[in-house]
Amino acid sequence: MTSTSTPPSTPHSFQVDLRGLVDLLSHHLYSSPRVYVRELLQNAVDAITARHALDPAAEVRIRLSASAGRVTIEDSGIGLTAAEAHSLLATIGRSSKRGGDGADLDEPGLEATRQEFLGQFGIGLLACFVVARQIRVVTRSARDPQAAPVEWLATDDGSYTVRELPHEARPEPGTTVVLEARPGATEWAAPAKVEELARDYGSLLPYDITFDDGEGGEPRPVTDRPAVWDRAFPTPAARRVALAGHCAQLFGFTPLDSIDLDLPVAGVRGVAYVLPDPTSPAHRAGHRVHLKGMLLTDRADNLLPDWAFFVRAVLDTDTLRPTASRENLYDDETLAAVRDALGARVRGWLAELAASDPERLAAFLQVHHLGVKSMARHDSELLGLMLPWLPFETSDGSMSLQEFAAAHTDIHFTRTVEEFRQIAPIAAAHGLGVINAGYTYDADLLALLPAVRPELKVTELDAGAVTERLDPVPTATELALAPFLATARTRLEAQGCDVVLRAFQPVSVPALYLDDRQARQERDRTAALESADSLWSGILGALRGSAPRARLVLNHNNPLIRRIAALPDEALTGTAVESLYGQALLMSQRPLRPADSTLLNRAFLGLLEWATHSADARDAQEDQK
């Protein structure tokens, strides 16, 4: 690009504090110096677009190269005159994106043409000073064929010169930009880095772009059009394979499925990939958004509804509005409408799976059921859609609420996994429908179930409901065991626990500890009362409730219970009952209170003493023989 030329003009200063601008761009507006490649590509593409508005038959050529700390981009675009170089390249807020007669494209009648351009903020080449110490532009205008080529040379001290060059310096219209990297930024000018950034930003741009690493090989294509979601494939299976490969290359995972995001009215085309591993609904996924082919951001977190946390999307749009940094989407009414429409596409995919491919839906829920449950708490439509498919642990096995409700109109649930596991075998044997709501979000969803299915009654499991379902023992038998039951109740009175006798399955369970929220609240109130001062004692005493106490249900079908009930020694009977209480309490895996720990120690030591005393007595009898 060297040639005999007119002497350089007197240096001029930018109409902006360049050092302050670079600091603002690099530390506050742009997330990384990498955006300078985007600015170069954007200016070249916009120049080509403007040239086509003037001459639709003009050639299209954009060539990017990098070597030895220098980055060069050449285009066959609209070019600039000397006056335009002064006014447009040196002033923030101005734009070279003007009509063929020089009119500003914001004028009435030219809005449609203006919409073809990528840039909207006029920062332009000055943004490249985040990595450059010097920028040289050689340009020739296509609007004025008689105008001489122009050299615009700027340095990072805030000065620039403009001079006209001989016609042979650039025979054809267009622009060549050369950046010289400043010290400390040479890594951003390395050929491999420049090519990587060019592909990342420009793979979907509308014009062919090539890259030359300066090593003598053929220039390599940067663009890869059409987008994979817009390509024709011989079969749907081939398309799925291609999309899966695209996802693996772009996001680093093989998706469970892909969802087309096609909104022609909104100017949006793309695809959403379903994550193959569980993810937290609180995690804000980073979606890739291209604006007119140029990558805007790969971290858009406001593109899809929050409930669609299980997908990663990539799309191209020509209607959504970018922020000033051009690194995210402006959250306005247009984006809100697009977000709702994209959410409807994801819902449609779920509905289609539910209707036509339950196996794929089951595979999806196996991975993402926890997250779907989380979002369904706040989305009645999603709850209604997923209700037949969301899995729950029940006393009848793992199944959906819809399947469980077909067998049980009165649905009970436990708030802890331990409580469910203790009661589930007994509930199943006696026809009691119980759901384990001890897992995250399940209790919230069960509370919403009557709103979706009004005919269902959902209540928390209590001791009375279980006891009523267990078989009573004959009246004569219970009367005969009245002394034993009286001893048992007396021993457990201090624990706030009642004792009842029932016959239930399985026979191997000697005793069942049943508790409910009201009983727990009453115990907590009693414990607080014992440690409170006189004022609080009076207040808490006035709050005494009539809630049922916890229950120790003894299984008359169990042989051990029958043997204990027949013991002649009342003290030993009491110790055995305390041991049954402790064993049932441990089986329920509830936290032990200090009083419970004391009882367990007492019962254990009592049984040891009885066992050793019996052994001593047997030894004495043997000695007498």
In this predicted structure, the answer to whether residue 485 has a pLDDT above a threshold of 60 is yes
In whole angstroms, how far apart are CA 46 and each of 49, 119, 540, 569? 5, 8, 76, 99
Higher pLDDT, 280 or 552: 552
Q: What is the pLDDT of residue 76?
A: 94
Gyration radius of the chain over CA positions? 39
Mean pLDDT in residue range 563-590: 88
What does the pLDDT read at residue 536? 47
Mean pLDDT value of segment 380-388: 79
What is the band of 558 on the pLDDT scale with cuts at 50, 70, 90? very high
Helices in 309-379 by DSSP H: which ranges?
Answer: 333-356, 358-376
- CB of 160 within 8 A of CB of 152? yes
pLDDT of residue 39: 87
Q: Return the pLDDT at 117.
A: 40
- Token digits for 341? 């429409």
Residues 236, 130: Cα–Cα separation, whole Å: 46
User: Which tokens in the block code for residue 155?
Assistant: 């340095």
User: What's the confidence (pLDDT) of residue 539?
Assistant: 43
pLDDT, averaged across the chain:
81
Q: DSSP characters for 507-553? A: TT--EEEE--HHHHHHHHHHHHHHHS-HHHHHHHHHT---PPPEEEE
Neighbours of 493 (CB within 10 A): 12
**For residue 554, is pLDDT > 80?**
yes
- Which pLDDT band, with edges at 50, 70 and 90, does 345 fall under? very high
What's residue 160's pLDDT? 79
Least confident of 39-53, 232-246, 429-443: 429-443
Q: What's the pLDDT at 543?
A: 43
Residue 95 has pLDDT above 80, yes or no: no
* 567 contacts: CB under 8 Å, gap ≥ 6: 573, 576
User: Are the C-beta atoms of 160 and 112 separated by less than 8 Å?
Assistant: no
Q: Report, as an integer, the average pLDDT of 455-468.
A: 80
Phi, psi angles (nearest 5°) of residue 565? -65, -25
Element housing 554 (H / E): strand 550-555
Which one has a higher pLDDT value, 189 or 86? 189
**pLDDT given at position 461:** 80
Instruction: Output 216 or 568, whichever has higher pLDDT.
Output: 568
Q: Which amino acid is residue 308, in one-letter code? A: A
Closest to 76 measured CA to CA, from 147, 167, 1, 174: 174
Dihedral of alpha carbons 102, 104, 105, 108, sign: negative
Q: Residue 489: which residues within 8 A CB-CB, separation 6 or more? A: 498, 499
Classified as helix, coil or strand, 594 is: helix
Are 434 and 423 in contact, with CB atoms under 8 Å apart? yes
Token representation of residue 284: 């804000």
In DSSP terms, 71 is beta-bridged to 66, 179
For residue 235 the two structure tokens come to 């079969």
- What's the rounded mean pLDDT across residues 385-398? 86
Using DSSP, state whether 51 is helix, strand or coil.
Answer: helix
**pLDDT band at 200, cuts 50/70/90?**
very high
Residue range 407-429: mean pLDDT, rounded: 83
Q: What are phi and psi of 134, to 5 degrees?
A: -145, 140
The pLDDT value recorded for residue 124 is 58
The stretch 253-270 carries a mean pLDDT of 93
548: pLDDT strictly greater than 70: no
**Average pLDDT of the residues in 261-274:** 93
What local confidence, expressed as pLDDT, does residue 431 receive? 81
Phi/psi region, residue 189 (left: phi>0; alpha: psi -120 to 50; beta: rest), is alpha
Contact 307, 343 (CB under 8 A): yes
Q: If you average pLDDT over residues 202-212, what whole number do you get?
A: 94
- Can the peptide bond before residue 450 be classed as cis, meaning omega within 30 degrees of 0? no
Could you tell me what percent of the chain has a pLDDT over 90? 36
Residue 331 in this model has a pLDDT that exceeds 50? yes
Confidence of residue 469 (pLDDT cuts 50, 70, 90): confident
Stated as kind and residue range, the H or E segment containing 412 is: strand 410-414
Banded model confidence at residue 155, pLDDT cuts 50, 70, 90? confident
Select the more confidently predicted residue: 473 or 546: 473
Q: Which residue has the tokens 């040639």?
A: 3
Pairwise pLDDT comparison (247 vs 217), residue with the higher score:
247
State the Cα–Cα distance between residues 339 and 303, nearest whole angstrom: 6
* Nearby residues of 346 by Cβ (< 8 Å), 6 or more positions away: 259, 272, 304, 305, 308, 311
Convert the pLDDT of each residue in 599-617 to its tens digit. 889 888 888 888 887 665 5
Does the reported pTM lie above 0.75?
A: no
Confidence category of residue 516, pLDDT binned at 50, 70, 90: low
Q: Is the pLDDT of residue 15 over 60?
A: no
Which residue has better confidence, 286 or 482? 482
Distance between CA 213 and CA 68 in Å, rounded?
10
Query: For residue 98, what pLDDT is reported?
Result: 44
Average pLDDT over residues 197-216: 92
Sequence-distant (6+) residues with CB within 8 A of 355 are none
**pLDDT category of residue 83 using cuts at 50, 70 and 90:** confident
Quick check: 469 and 432 in contact, CB under 8 A? yes
What is the separation of C-alpha 82 from the centre of its chain, rounded to a whole number of angstroms?
Answer: 52
